[in-house]
């Protein structure tokens, strides 16, 4: 048995006759019949039943057709992989993510992509996880870095980040003067939070429910910069991922603290369409992300010893 015989079987299955198969493959009907006869002799079993001018496949032929489909798919994927490795990456890569991702993750990622793939055109979309999933399914976005979970059978999800969520206040807020902040300390505090229904908000709401806290929510928004601005103005306190506030904490503009007894974490991952072969562009995207992941500030540094004053107003 060889690939040519499997190709002939595929063509007969598609066209329904030896004659049409010959036209499709540009060979004579006698050559088609000869190859089928040789295959039947090798197997010791008939592959086709003749019904007038049409042919009907036997179960043996159907099994070989399925085998041929798998074999030719493997061949295409292998050839495609080899070709990808020898070809310069070009084209357009369309990415989607939320506000925090676009502000703090995509900039170093894009810088790295431009350096290693100078001819790659990258386009960005700021969107919620729900809208990003719709855009990926519609083929308008290649991949999204989204807050998880995203559980869709037609999409691949690759978790890549665990971001710590911290309480954020102004440096002069009463909570900033506490060595530790407990859940009880949050009773009666006004909150500026992420929008209702978002994956990040669900993490926060689960914490509130666990501690039987009924928060006073004075504002919710999908924009982390608005949360920071409202906290700075004194409207309330917030709970945000550390990387969104790290620079301002270092500059003394905000104060962050962990809530005692709770590790508030949101998980973020790449989401892209499921396919038989992952496109090279997605492979290169994931590799580039791994190259810059260590630069992301996902949690505050460990508190220093009391003998060495900490530069950042952060508590554990």
The string of pLDDT tens digits covering residues 160-201 is 999 999 999 999 999 998 889 999 999 889 999 999 989 999
pLDDT of 119 strictly over 70: yes
Please check the confidence at residue 287 and state whether its pLDDT lies above 80: yes
- Please tell me the predicted confidence (pLDDT) of residue 101: 94
- Mean pLDDT across the chain: 88
Helix H, strand E, coil C: the string for the chain is CCHHHHHHHHHHHHHCCHHHHHHHHCCCHHHHHHHHHHHHHHHCCCCEEEECCEEEECHHHHHHHHHHHHHHHHHHHHHHHHHHHHCCCCEEEEEEECHHHHHHCHHHHHHHHHHHCCCEEEEEEECCHHHHHHHHHCCCCCEEEEECCCCCCCEEEEEEEEEEEEEEECCCCHHHHCCCECHHHHCCCEEEEECCCCHHHHHHHHHHHHCCCCCEEEEEECCHHHHHHHHHHCCCEEEEEHHHCHHHHHCCCCEEECECCCCCEEEEEEEEECCCCCCHHHHHHHHHHHHHHHHCCCCCCCCCCCCCCCCCCEEC
CATH topology for 91-160+267-295?
A: D-Maltodextrin-Binding Protein; domain 2 (3.40.190)
Q: Is the pLDDT of residue 112 over 70?
A: yes
Mean pLDDT, range 286-294, rounded to an integer: 95
Residue 316: what pLDDT?
Answer: 37
pTM higher than 0.75, yes or no?
Answer: no
Give me the residue spans of the domains in the chain: 3-86, 91-160+267-295, 163-266+300-315
Same CATH topology for 91-160+267-295 and 163-266+300-315: the answer is yes
- Residue 173, pLDDT score: 95
* 224-233, 257-266, 301-310 — most confident range: 224-233
Instruction: Kindly tell me if the per-residue pLDDT of 127 is higher than 70.
Output: yes
Task: Taking residues 113-132, report their average pLDDT.
Answer: 93
Asked if residue 313 has pLDDT above 80, the reply is: no
CATH match of 3-86 with 3.10.50.30: no
The confidence score (pLDDT) of residue 230 equals 97
Which pLDDT score, from 0 to 100, does residue 306 have? 33
Residues 72-84 pLDDT 10s: 877 776 766 665 6
CATH code of the region 163-266+300-315: 3.40.190.10
């Amino acid at each position: 048995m060889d690939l040519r015989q499997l190709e002939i079987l595929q063509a007969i299955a598609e066209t329904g006759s030896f004659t049409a198969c010959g036209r499709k493959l540009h060979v004579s009907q006698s050559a088609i019949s000869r190859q089928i006869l040789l295959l039947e002799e090798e197997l010791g079993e008939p592959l086709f039943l003749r019904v007038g001018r049409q042919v009907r496949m036997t179960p043996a032929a159907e099994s070989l057709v399925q085998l041929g489909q798998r074999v030719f798919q493997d061949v295409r994927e292998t050839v495609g992989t080899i070709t990808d490795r020898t070809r310069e990456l070009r084209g357009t890569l369309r990415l989607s993510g939320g506000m925090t991702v676009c502000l703090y993750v995509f900039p170093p990622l894009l810088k790295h992509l431009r350096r290693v793939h100078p001819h790659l055109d990258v386009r960005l979309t700021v969107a919620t996880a729900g809208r990003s999933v719709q855009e990926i399914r519609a083929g308008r976005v290649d991949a999204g870095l989204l807050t998880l979970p995203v559980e869709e059978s037609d999409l691949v999800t690759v978790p890549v980040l665990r971001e710590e969520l911290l309480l954020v206040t102004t440096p002069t807020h009463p909570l900033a003067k506490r060595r530790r902040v407990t859940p009880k300390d949050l009773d009666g505090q006004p909150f500026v939070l992420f929008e209702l229904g978002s994956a990040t908000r669900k993490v926060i709401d689960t914490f509130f429910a666990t501690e039987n806290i009924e928060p006073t929510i004075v504002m919710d928004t999908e924009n982390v910069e608005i949360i920071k601005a409202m906290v700075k103005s004194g409207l309330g306190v917030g709970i945000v991922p550390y990387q969104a506030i790290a620079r301002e904490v270092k500059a003394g503009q905000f104060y962050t603290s962990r809530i005692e007894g709770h590790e508030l974490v949101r998980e973020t991952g790449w989401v892209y369409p499921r396919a038989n072969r992952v496109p090279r562009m997605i492979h290169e995207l994931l590799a580039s992300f791994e190259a810059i992941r260590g630069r992301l500030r996902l949690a505050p540094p460990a508190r220093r010893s009391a003998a060495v004053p900490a530069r950042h107003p952060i508590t554990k």
